């Protein structure tokens, strides 16, 4: 009975996450929501994520820094030593990151910008 209840609760939350991601597909922060739900990253970690922290070939990202709560400063350290970590990406998240990178590279080229660091 306990296993059934656990399974039902897990399925319920998976369904809620899927519905939420579907509803916000066109939202400019969709990638941030997807990263939060599929990696467990904190908001401050997601908002400080740079393209050099993502290895698309290895399907991983590296949490190396955080954004301050007021959004004015990037800390080169994470909240704790154990917060500095490598996260393996699932296929859906990897695909979204690849698509996002293509969009940003296109915008960067058309605007004549030299570099882009922060992803979100």
Q: Is the pTM of this model over 0.75?
A: yes
Residue pair 108/116 in contact (Cβ under 8 Å)? The answer is: yes
More reliable by pLDDT, 78 or 8: 8
**Residue 77 to residues 56, 81, 85, 87, 98: CA-CA distances in angstroms?**
23, 8, 11, 16, 26
11-56: pLDDT as tens digits: 888 899 999 999 999 999 999 999 999 999 999 999 999 999 999 9
Tell me, what's the pLDDT at 42?
Answer: 94
66-94: pLDDT as tens digits: 999 898 999 887 777 778 899 999 999 99
């Amino acid at each position: 009975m306990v296993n059934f209840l656990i399974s039902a609760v897990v399925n319920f939350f998976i369904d809620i996450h899927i519905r939420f991601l579907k509803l916000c597909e066109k939202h400019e922060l969709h990638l941030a929501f997807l990263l939060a739900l599929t990696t467990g990253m904190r908001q401050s970690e997601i908002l400080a994520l740079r393209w050099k922290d993502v290895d698309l070939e290895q399907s991983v990202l590296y949490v190396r820094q955080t954004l301050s709560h007021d959004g004015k400063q990037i800390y080169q350290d994470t909240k704790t030593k154990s917060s500095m970590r490598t996260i393996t990406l699932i296929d859906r998240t990897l695909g979204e990151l690849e698509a996002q990178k293509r969009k940003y590279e296109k915008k960067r080229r058309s605007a004549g910008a030299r570099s882009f660091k922060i992803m979100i």
